[in-house]
Amino acid sequence: IALSGNRASGAGPPLPVQLVAWIGALLLLRALIGLTLWERPFRRRTWIAAAGFALVLFLSRNPGTGVPAIALLAIPWLWSLRWSVALGGGHLALLSVGTLLSVALATISYGPGAGDWPRSGLSGIASLHLVASVLAGYYAIIALPRLAWRVQFSIRRIAWRLVASHLLAGLVPGILSTLFLLLAGAFYLSTYRGMVAERALRGLSQNAEQLLARGFVSGGDPPAAPFGEETPGQVIVLRDGGASVRVLGGGLSCDPDSLLAQRQTTRDAPLLWDGQRLFLRARVDTLQGGRRLVAEALAPVDSLRMVALSRVLGVPVRLNPHARVVRTATSMQIGGDEDSTGVTIGPRRPGGTHIPGGALIPCLISKSDGWSMQVVPVVSSASPGEMLASLFSSARENPLATVVLGVLGILAFLILGAIWITIGMVAGMGRSIAKTVRALTDATRALREGRLEHRIPIEGQDELWSVAGSFNEMADGLERMRVVELERERLEQELKLARDIQTRLLPPGPPEILGLDLAGLSRPARHVGGDYFDYLALDGGAIAIVIADVSGKGVPAALLMSSFRASLRSEDIGALGPARVLTHLNRFICASVDPGKFITAFLAIIEPATGRVRYACAGHDPPILMGRDGTVRELAEGGLVLGLFPDTAYEEAVVDLPVGATLALYTDGVTEAQNPAEEFFGRERLVETLLGARAESCSGILERIVDDIERFADKAPQYDDITLVLARRP
């Protein structure tokens, strides 16, 4: 404001004002740079945009430069608006209003008169202030659409947001359109009235000119009242050939000779201002009997005449002879005399909201240095609703106005009906959406609290209620899944307990027996398995080794394995021998289990001192006897699997276990372990592992076999229980 106040005078402001201007411009530039740098990734295009911004600052150091045009180069740099995502809805709304004000201030800053800054002695300050204002204006123009787009997020409730969006989409454009039509009609009506008044004044001037010319043609004196007998104060200025100028009627404030010397006709300038009063002109310039007759008929334009003209037009019309409209090639400026009061001639309209308008009429103006041609405004006004109100006021007298009012009433009824239907639909949708969202919110809260029995009452058939129905289906599924999960957890707990029990049924480790190295393990494919092995100490220092495999897997196999173990431990293995023990076990299993269930088993009694081994096999995989020198022998003597036929007889065999020899007992889970290609580990790989690790202890050999099986299986799952028992005479 301080800068613009000194543009015309050319006087520089005081030093404090200059300092404030410098600081304000620098702070504005600093704010722009900070806003555009906020979380902006610096890539190649960022540096290009920064170079354009710096080029604007460099080129704008000269006040005479076209800053607004050059500042367009800074738009790529100003385009970054990443900070807007960090603002809340209220701040966005406030910032949008501030942005509009910024655009307005920027427009004022480099508006008309900005080119006068270099002449004011403030070229440096003005240039920096102008650059900052222009850049801020551009930035505000860029930011405003994005801010307005994000203001919707300040409305938390979906129903209100929906209502606001429909109002903005329907009602607001309708209101703005109506306001536009009313203002356009008022502007047109006031401008049209001014044009009619201008044409009426021209018509009065031309009629007076015709009367004046008719008097000269008839050869007599000019009429004393060419503007009509009812117009007082008429003046006629006449020159007949070379005679002196005669002034008939009242006097003039201007020189009559200079007036008649002008060449402007009535059509060129219907009005005349003699410096004190405004006149209507009627000029005649003709030859009569070889002599030149020049006459100017002038009628004062005062408030009475403008009142009479306003009565004819039906609306107040007034002239402002003090206003001067100066047209140039690029602009139009309205000014006035420095010593004039600016009082208009003519009646004013009563108080209220009125839209001004008018027309321009040429006027011949007398000045101290001569005459000049200018235009003055013919002013009228109209209220925004006057066009519509005039239809109602004339409906009683004009039947056509009634027809127009009927058409407009139908249109208004349709518009109001459409608005009412729209508002009803929006309100209904808002309530439905709000109710559905509230129901979904309550339902999700219930699920979060673990109340899976909560259901949403379905009250509609649209998409949102379909989502609510899907939510109910999901809740049903979750409730069923929770029941299944609880059941699964219960089963897992039971299986864990069963596994712990089964683990306690297996030996925790090999016994320490002089002259014999033992090792064994069992790894079930599921929580519990059907494989079994054990070490049973006998009288005389002997030890019984048993390995068994129950058909099937899981809990049934584990239960049958437990029965087998209990029956085995109830037998006097040392007195009966392996074959008779298996015979007794076979009868028990056949009598206790359903048909189709069977057990393979291998039972051996080892005497560590002599290396004598007595054994019997019930359909089990033949154990491998590997000598110190690497020879391999299978122990296959025995009989059928346990549980098929109660009268099955089993044979007993005897073999020596030399010093350094190893006896390997295993279940089919070892040889039938599969890799992802569904290949079996096989007996050959087992023998190779035994041969490769024969120099190690039984526990070392056991680890080597397990590692080879895991390496072979890779990521393939374990399909069967794996059980191994090794015995060696060191």
Rounded Cα distance between 377 and 668, Å, is 116
CA–centroid distance for 504 within its chain = 63
Beta strand 271-273 pairing with 355-367 = parallel
Taking a C-beta distance cutoff of 8 angstroms, is the pair 590, 643 a contact?
yes
For 424-428, what is the mean pLDDT? 74
The b/e string for 352-376 (b: 16+ C-beta within 10 A; e otherwise) is eebbebbbbbbbbbbeeeebeebbb
Residues 6+ apart with CB under 8 A from 371: 258, 259, 262, 364, 365
pLDDT score at 576: 92
pLDDT score at 229: 84
Least confident interval from 1-10, 68-77, 226-235, 615-624: 1-10
- Decide if pLDDT at 73 tops 60: yes
- Decide if pLDDT at 5 tops 60: no
For 261-288, what is the mean pLDDT? 89
- Decide if pLDDT at 288 tops 90: no
Q: What is the mean pLDDT of the chain?
A: 81
Band the pLDDT of 280: cuts 50, 70, 90.
Answer: very high
Give percent of the chain with pLDDT exceeding 90. Answer: 22
pLDDT, tens digit, for every residue of 386-402? 777 777 777 777 777 78
Band the pLDDT of 432: cuts 50, 70, 90.
Answer: confident
Would you state the structure tokens that stand for residue 215, as one six-digit string?
């008097």
Beta strand 612-618 pairing with 653-656 = antiparallel
Rounded Cα distance between 558 and 329, Å, is 108
User: Number of C-alpha atoms within 13 angstroms, CB side, residue 570?
Assistant: 9
pLDDT score at 230: 85
User: Could you tell me the sign of the dihedral formed by the alpha carbons of 284, 288, 290, 296, in that order?
Assistant: negative
Give percent of the chain with pLDDT exceeding 70. Answer: 84
Query: Which one has a higher pLDDT value, 80 or 87?
Result: 80
Residues 6+ apart with CB under 8 A from 463: none
Band the pLDDT of 120: cuts 50, 70, 90.
Answer: very low
Taking a C-beta distance cutoff of 8 angstroms, is the pair 541, 578 a contact?
no
For 27-51, what is the mean pLDDT? 82
pLDDT score at 112: 42
pLDDT, tens digit, for every residue of 300-345? 998 888 888 888 877 888 888 877 666 655 545 555 554 444 567 8
- Decide if pLDDT at 14 tops 60: yes
pLDDT score at 271: 93
Taking a C-beta distance cutoff of 8 angstroms, is the pair 467, 457 a contact?
no
- State the SS3 of 384-412: CCHHHHHHHHCCCCCHHHHHHHHHHHHHH
Residues 6+ apart with CB under 8 A from 397: none
Which residue from 654, 649, 532 is spatially nearest to 583, judged by alpha carbons? 649
pLDDT, tens digit, for every residue of 291-307? 888 899 999 998 888 88
pLDDT, tens digit, for every residue of 174-200? 788 888 888 888 888 889 988 999 999
Band the pLDDT of 624: cuts 50, 70, 90.
Answer: very high
Taking a C-beta distance cutoff of 8 angstroms, is the pair 463, 452 a contact?
no
Q: Which amino acid is at 307?
A: V
Query: Which one has a higher pLDDT value, 109 or 214?
Result: 214
For 617-628, what is the mean pLDDT? 92
User: Could you tell me the sign of the dihedral formed by the alpha carbons of 338, 339, 343, 344, in that order?
Assistant: negative
For 525-530, what is the mean pLDDT? 76
- Decide if pLDDT at 368 tops 50: yes
pLDDT score at 282: 93
pLDDT score at 123: 45
For 467-488, what is the mean pLDDT? 84
Which residue from 347, 361, 281, 342 is spatially nearest to 314, judged by alpha carbons? 347
Calculate the alpha carbon distances from 266 to 209, 272, 280 in Å: 8, 10, 9
pLDDT score at 338: 43
Query: Which one has a higher pLDDT value, 345 or 146?
Result: 345
